[in-house]
Amino acid sequence: MQVVAVNASPREGGNTHLLLNRVCERLQARDIQTEIIHIGGKPVHGCRGCRHCFEKRDRNCIIRSDVINKCIGKLLEADGVILGSPTYFSDVTTEMKALIDRAGYVSLANDNPLAGKVGAAVTAVRRAGAQHALHSMHHLFSILQMPVATSTYWNIGYGATPGEAGLDSEGLQSMDNLGDTMAWLMHCIESGSRQYPFPKGDRSRRMNFIRPDRPSAT
């Protein structure tokens, strides 16, 4: 099994990377392969809302000039996904938001291939706002039928300058426990899903509270 971890910090070797690494080490110790992809600091576009993905249904976003499509492809191949972002003004970075919007729409447009994959989110923060950033990432999982791995505390590491999160021993403990829980969940799903196949959700009912004849995707 494979987990893809996305680092949306522009500081490639910074605190978010340190936290993701820590989770990945625990996953590797439990026979799960990991790959960290860096999208932070790269030029990315937000979703255009053009709905081209719903017309084409080819598991791609129409914007092919940036790193997001490649990243979506990796997420679709993986068994588990970790989203990592520093907390910026109590939220995720621009790069992470672009990934959430575009991966979410591409998945919804294509019969939701992200459903059933285990999701986890981590954030690095100097002082405050991390809860909101975590929620922003969890929102992707909770609309796409992705079981969410949790830890013994919220998945937050404290630090300002690169490497400082390594001094937050409780934060590191949370990352270790997150890795263990995620590995457990993935192994349980793998061994149990033959007997209990994943319940693909019914999305046939769609309300649009302005125009009932014109349902929307989200």
Ligand X SMILES: Cc1cc2nc3c(=O)[nH]c(=O)nc-3n(C[C@H](O)[C@H](O)[C@H](O)COP(=O)(O)O)c2cc1C
Binding site for ligand X (CB under 6 A): 9, 11, 14-16, 86-90, 124-129, 159-160, 162
Residues 6+ apart with CB under 8 A from 83: 5, 6, 8, 96, 99, 100, 119, 120, 121, 122, 137, 140
Question: Residue with the closest Cβ to ligand X?
Answer: 14
Identify how many contiguous H helices and E strands the chain contains and give both numbers. Answer: 6, 5
Cβ proximity to ligand X, 113 vs 158, nearer residue: 158
Q: 82 with 122: CB under 8 angstroms?
A: yes
Name which of 100 and 108 has its Cβ closer to ligand X.
Answer: 100
Q: Where are the beta strands (DSSP E) in 8-163?
A: 33-38, 80-86, 118-125, 156-158
Q: How far is the CB of 158 from ligand X (least distance, A)?
A: 8
How far is 125 from 22, CA to CA, in rounded Å? Answer: 16
* Closer CB to ligand X, 41 or 116, in the complex: 41
Q: Which is it for the CA torsion 87, 90, 94, 97, positive or negative?
A: positive
In this complex, which beta carbon is closest to ligand X, that of residue 100 or of residue 146? 100
| Residue nearer to ligand X on the CB measure, 19 or 182 | 19
Residue 120 CB, nearest distance to ligand X (Å)? 16
- The least CB distance from residue 42 to ligand X, in Å, is 14
Supply the minimum distance, in Å, between the C-beta of residue 56 and ligand X.
34
Q: Which residue type sits at 37? A: I
Q: How far is the CB of 96 from ligand X (least distance, A)?
A: 11
